[in-house]
Amino acid sequence: MRCFFLLSICLFFSVSSDFEEDLQAVLSYYRCNPNCTFKHSEITSKTLPFYPLSCSSICGILVVNENTDLPYFQLKALFEPLQTLRGGMRIENTSFQNLSFLSSSETTLNYFCYPAGTSIVNNSQLIDAKAIYNTYPISTPSEECPFYVLNNTKLDVSTLCESSNYNQFLEIQVYNNKKDCGCRGDQLTSGNMKSYKKCIALFNGLELTNMTTSPDLKSLSKISVIKGNVEIAYTNFTDLSFFKHLEKVRGRSFDNPETVILDIHDNPNMIRLGLNAVSVNKLGYYLVGNVEYQWEGSMNLENLHPDFCLTYQEVTALSTVRFKNLQAKFCETEMDTGYTKSCNFTSMKNLDSDCVIIFGNVVIDSGDEEHVGKLTETIRDIYGSLTIQNTNLEDIRFLNSLNYIYFLHETIPVIRIINNPKLKKVSLPYMMSIFAKGKKEVVIDNNAPNLFRASISCLAFQHHIGANVTYNGRNCKAIDETKTSGEFGIFHVHFALLTLLVY
């Protein structure tokens, strides 16, 4: 308890940091209208004349504290016309019972809260903070607003974290109030794990390292979402089935695509992932997500048991994830696809005509041209590689419905399209992702001339399928280089002949 009290004091000093420094950060970040900027460190009767009353949009850090000597109705009149705030808001050391002076009867406050954020700290009489629910904090995913609600001993904010305006936050500091919201994953230890029995969501990420299997892990069974990056390492866990209801990890790359959101490594006894609640039945609902929409969710599966494998449900839920390492194989006995028809591939001749999912390396070879119609409009997923070789095919439209290829071989290319002399067009219009253990390699070689006439068409195909394309032994960019070199050579031949004719 003493440690927690000291931590609260330290946090109070950190959130009440140098005002001038914070204000300069706000002014540098936003293009503020000087006439609508409040630069004072607190709102009092002395600073009131400098408050831009005529502005509905204001820049600044609005501080209401123990020195604020304005009557309540005057504070209400001050905030009533405010529609947009760029900067920060601090309500500290007051005796207010509520914060209704912040809320307008007509509009929701649009609050661009980065970088200064929100601080509601040490308000001993505060019992009602509904006005905070009606502010709409706006920030970019990689620049989340600092948010603190601390040491308000009469305040119940048990529903704040999951309220509509705040449930996007990954890191939120709400504690030492009468009732807090959310559960802080970054504070979880083997010693306090039992106190997480009622937690449905974790904030501030999670680190389970240097732990051993314990009955206390069942205390995490109700958690359905973890907000923040997760590391699970150096344990003797055989799986993660203690996360009985975990469906989503929402992390952040901090604008660095190499950052791993779900990092599971150095667990030598782990043979299964064991996340049985993972589902993709909900639209767009995958296990690992990135709040920075420009980056994919990222994951690492490294140095686990040699027999570590992924089930069909897990692989499907991870189909859009980028892997740093993927040291896994498919759980061959646990690939139940439910009501969706799946087939094991032996040959195109023996393949059924209505397979949606195919397990095995699909090979379309000489003589299989008459069988490719079996794949038209039905094929969706291939769990293996795809090879099209030695055929008389002119296009691959029969694969138009293909969405995903899942392949866990490190050295063989995921797709090979080779030695098809009549093949003039290659397109996979509905391909969503290639899930691969090693590099996502596609080899297209020795087909009809000018299958890709220019680098741009090859690069477009490469970008669409999300894999590295090697075309006739070279990368896509080399097509234009080869073409330019060839044209330059022809020019020299013509020039030489012309010179001979002249002389």
DSSP string, 332-391: TT----TTS-EEE-S-TTTS-TT-SEEES-EEE-TT-GGGGGGGTTT--EEES-EEEES-
* pTM metric for this prediction: 0.76
Average pLDDT in the chain? 85
Contact present, 69 and 44 (Cβ < 8 Å): yes
Pick the last residue of a domain from 284, 306, 330: 330
Same domain? For 171 and 29 the reply is yes
Q: Establish if 133 belongs to a structural domain.
A: yes
Measured in degrees and rounded to the nearest 5, phi and psi for residue 131 equal -60, -30
Same domain? For 166 and 38 the reply is yes
Same domain? For 110 and 203 the reply is no
- When pLDDT is averaged across residues 320-331 and rounded to a whole number, the result is 87
Same domain? For 176 and 49 the reply is yes
Same domain? For 311 and 258 the reply is yes
Q: Establish if 437 belongs to a structural domain.
A: yes
Q: Establish if 157 belongs to a structural domain.
A: yes
Pick the last residue of a domain from 122, 157, 181: 181
Q: Which pLDDT belongs to residue 381? A: 93
Does pLDDT of 283 surpass 90? no
CATH code for the domain of 289 = 3.80.20.20
Same domain? For 200 and 318 the reply is yes
- Strand 433-436 vs strand 357-359: parallel, antiparallel, or unpaired? unpaired
Same domain? For 317 and 340 the reply is no
pLDDT digits (tens, 9 = 90+) for 98-123: 998 887 666 778 899 999 999 999 99
Alpha carbons 193 and 190: distance in angstroms, whole number: 5
- Domain that includes residue 126, residue range: 19-181
Does pLDDT of 501 surpass 50? no
Does pLDDT of 502 surpass 70? no
Q: Establish if 207 belongs to a structural domain.
A: yes
Total domains in the chain come to 3
Same domain? For 324 and 339 the reply is no
Contact present, 296 and 318 (Cβ < 8 Å): no
Does pLDDT of 489 surpass 60? no
pLDDT digits (tens, 9 = 90+) for 232-244: 999 999 999 999 9
Q: 393 Cβ partners below 8 Å, 6+ apart?
A: 364, 369, 372, 420, 422, 423
Pick the last residue of a domain from 330, 349, 368: 330
Alpha carbons 184 and 147: distance in angstroms, whole number: 13
3-class DSSP state for residue 93?
A: coil
Does pLDDT of 285 surpass 60? no
Same domain? For 160 and 227 the reply is no
- When pLDDT is averaged across residues 33-38 and rounded to a whole number, the result is 95
pLDDT digits (tens, 9 = 90+) for 142-190: 788 889 999 999 999 988 888 888 887 888 888 899 998 878 899 999 9
Same domain? For 148 and 112 the reply is yes
Same domain? For 199 and 167 the reply is no
Q: Establish if 403 belongs to a structural domain.
A: yes
Q: Establish if 435 belongs to a structural domain.
A: yes
- How sure is the predictor about 281, in pLDDT bands with cuts at 50, 70 and 90? very low
Contact present, 52 and 36 (Cβ < 8 Å): yes
Q: Establish if 247 belongs to a structural domain.
A: yes
Minimum mean pLDDT among 275-284, 310-319, 405-414: which range? 275-284
Alpha helical stretches, state H, 30-104: 72-79
Does pLDDT of 503 surpass 50? no
Which of 205 and 322 is assigned the larger pLDDT?
205
Q: Which pLDDT belongs to residue 311? A: 86
Q: Establish if 11 belongs to a structural domain.
A: no
- When pLDDT is averaged across residues 24-51 and rounded to a whole number, the result is 94
Does pLDDT of 435 surpass 70? yes
Does pLDDT of 258 surpass 50? yes
Most trustworthy range by pLDDT among 107-111, 226-230, 425-429: 425-429
Same domain? For 31 and 177 the reply is yes
